[in-house]
């Protein structure tokens, strides 16, 4: 049985990792869906074998690892391939997330995921925390971090829930429209709130 789970989400470049690290510094264990998504396609994993069979050996690098940029190009241009890939990987990712959350020892745990609200990962969470900021800032920070063009970032943002959709589903919000030093006090407050919710959760189960 897992502890109280807070789902931390927000669009690409919204500041999920930055915020998650602040919770980690307060002793809270994290499961990062992006990390898990990479683990399920590591060399030796059955999913990588299936991907290589479908798209050919060109999808693998010389060391046998997945050429993620190559795969992204294929699936972003072709919805049918994207659905195939999601049907393959999403159940595996979900299973690993569940296993890792069950091992968490902190009072509550965070599931950090860009696609929390778009997938059934949402059902693994007792509380949804959204990192919020104007889409223009999100675009600017992501383009700077990844040295991607604004067009590329816009394409990724289009495949994710938009700001209004996220806000509708949020139980709590973090405003990340200010400089990073505005985050700590917000995280402190939320951390106290989540500790109380986790206590109530433990008492009631
Ligand atoms: P995500 O994990 O949601 O993709 P990150 O935490 O990596 O987002 O943040 C995206 C980029 O913006 C990173 O380069 C990060 O250092 C930077 N960043 C995060 N929060 C702020 C902020 N409040 N002000 C300026 N830059 C920020």
Our answer on whether the CB atom of 141 is closer than 6 Å to any ligand 1 atom is yes
Q: Residue for token digits 């919805």?
A: 79
Q: Would you state the pLDDT for residue 2?
A: 84
Q: Check if the beta carbon of residue 84 is closer than 8 Å to that of residue 47.
A: no
Going by C-alpha positions, the residue among 30, 16, 31, 28 that lies closest to residue 191 is: 28
Q: How confident is the model at residue 1 (pLDDT cuts 50, 70, 90)?
A: low
Query: In terms of CATH, what superfamily is 4-204?
Result: P-loop containing nucleotide triphosphate hydrolases (3.40.50.300)
Question: What is the pTM assigned to this prediction?
Answer: 0.92
From 15, 117, 182, the mutation candidate for ligand 1 (largest count of ligand atoms within 8 A of CB) is 15
Residue 165 tokens read as 């959709």
User: Mean of the pLDDT values across residues 78-93?
Assistant: 95
| Angle formed by the axes of helices 135-146 and 150-158, nearest 10° | 120
- Per-residue pLDDT band at 166 (split at 50, 70, 90): very high
Calculate the dihedral angle through the C-alpha atoms of 98, 102, 107, 108, rounding to the nearest 10 degrees. 0
- Over 90: is that where the pLDDT of 92 sits? yes
- Across the range 13-31, mean pLDDT stands at 97
pLDDT(54) > 70: yes
Counting from 1 in the atom list of ligand 1, the atom nearest the Cα of 18 is: 6
Question: 161 pairs with which residues across the strands?
Answer: none
Ligand 1 centroid to residue 44 C-alpha, Å: 33
Domain ranges of the chain: 4-204
Stretch 81-85: mean pLDDT: 95
- Cα separation, 9 vs 133, in Å, equals 12
- Report which DSSP code applies to 25: T
Atom of ligand 1 nearest to the CA of 19: 6
Q: Output the residue whose Cα is nearest ligand 1's atom 5.
A: 15
Sheet holding 29-32, edge to edge: 29-32, 108-112, 4-9, 127-132, 172-175
Residues in the chain: 205
Is the CB of 166 inside a 6 Å radius of any atom of ligand 1? Answer: no
Portion of the chain with pLDDT greater than 70, in percent: 100
Under 8 Å CB-to-CB from 50, ≥6 apart: which residues? 88
pLDDT at position 27 is: 98
């Amino acid at each position: 049985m897992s502890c109280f789970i807070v789902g931390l989400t927000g669009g690409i470049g919204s500041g999920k990792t930055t915020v998650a690290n602040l919770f980690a510094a307060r002793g809270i264990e994290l499961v990062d869906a992006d990390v898990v998504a990479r683990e399920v396609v590591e060399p030796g994993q059955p999913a990588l074998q299936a991907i290589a069979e479908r798209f050919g050996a060109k999808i693998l690098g010389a060391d046998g690892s997945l050429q993620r940029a190559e795969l992204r190009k294929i699936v972003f241009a072709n919805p049918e391939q994207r659905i195939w890939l999601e049907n393959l990987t999403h159940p595996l990712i979900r299973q690993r997330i569940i296993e890792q959350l069950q091992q968490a020892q902190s009072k509550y745990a965070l599931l950090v995921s860009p696609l929390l609200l778009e997938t059934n990962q949402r059902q693994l969470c007792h509380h949804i925390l959204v990192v919020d900021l104007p889409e223009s800032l999100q675009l600017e920070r992501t383009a700077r971090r990844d040295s991607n063009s604004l067009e590329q970032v816009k394409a990724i943002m289009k495949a994710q829930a938009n700001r209004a959709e996220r806000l509708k589903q949020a139980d709590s919000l973090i405003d990340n429209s200010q400089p990073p030093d505005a985050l700590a006090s917000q995280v402190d407050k939320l951390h106290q709130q989540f500790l109380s919710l986790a206590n109530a959760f433990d008492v009631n189960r």
